[in-house]
Chains A and B, each alone.
Chain A
Amino acid sequence: DAKTTQPNSMESNEEEPVHLPCNHSTISGTDYIHWYRQLPSQGPEYVIHGLTSNVNNRMASLAIAEDRKSSTLILHRATLRDAAVYYCILRGWGKLQFGAGTQVVVTP
């Protein structure tokens, strides 16, 4: 199964944008790129997903490179509530395969 690579941690100031990179050089043509996040002591929650085109929703934006070998999750204005572990996942059929994710720290 295709794997993803993410930085271990990132820091941001409150109300500033956060750009979370994800490398997935072995992505297949049918893999969707999904992002989930996990707040402390909670189960993961869905953030956004896409295939080839950039995607926006109320939580975030997803920018996908033209060759699909990398993507970036963008939180436009980080709040303290956005402090969590963010997982980039290549989604085939069935299970989600989580990596270690990126720990986002938001400073007031």
Chain B
Amino acid sequence: EPEVTQTPSHQVTQMGQEVILRCVPISNHLYFYWYRQILGQKVEFLVSFYNNEISEKSEIFDDQFSVERPDGSNFTLKIRSTKLEDSAMYFCASSELAGELFFGEGSRLTVL
């Protein structure tokens, strides 16, 4: 069964460092998303991406964040200068249209 895959599963970084989280969405999907879940809190939308550009973004997704689809398969989330409050589980997801959303297993980011 096709699935969304994410790497790394866990990353520990120092405050101020750049982090890149990687995702391989399901191959025939056109819409890609990043969500995050801070421990004990709700899952929050960060950004959606379609046709090689951002289609929606939340207030959380400020200038420190960027997304890219560098080739035909990968979808990345970059955090330029990490802060302590960026510590969270980051989920990549994909869908065909505004339909069923498929999530990856997540990348746990710990900022020290």
**Bind each other:** no
